[in-house]
């Protein structure tokens, strides 16, 4: 059995809009999260998934880091969505 990594990346942050795409140390914040998953050695690159309500986020992540992305429905994109509901579409 292989481990998979599911990274939720919501575009509608309450505090800082589109914070996952803001640059920190030369790259978007979401790339730091993806790189940490890769560098951990726990997951194969093809087993890292990004789940987002934003097609733009998914396109950027697909082109730059990983090829598997999951578009979340509007029902579970809210900040208070339970974690289980995020994985339901996985």
Identify the three-state secondary structure at position 72: coil
Confidence of residue 39 (pLDDT cuts 50, 70, 90): very high
pLDDT of 18 higher than 80 = yes
What's the CA dihedral at 16, 20, 22, 26 to 10 degrees?
Answer: 150
Distance CA 17, CA 29 (A): 13
Which are the contacts of 39, defined by CB distance < 8 A and separation ≥ 6?
none
Lowest mean pLDDT among 5-9, 14-18, 36-40: 14-18
């Amino acid at each position: 059995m292989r481990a998979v990594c599911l990274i939720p990346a919501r575009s509608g942050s309450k505090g800082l809009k589109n914070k996952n795409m803001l640059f920190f140390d030369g790259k978007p914040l979401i790339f730091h999260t993806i790189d940490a998953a890769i560098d951990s050695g726990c997951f194969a690159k093809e087993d890292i998934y990004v789940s987002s309500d934003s097609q733009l986020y998914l396109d950027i992540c697909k082109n730059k880091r990983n090829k598997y992305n999951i578009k979340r429905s509007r029902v579970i994109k809210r900040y208070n969505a339970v974690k289980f509901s995020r994985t339901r579409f996985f």
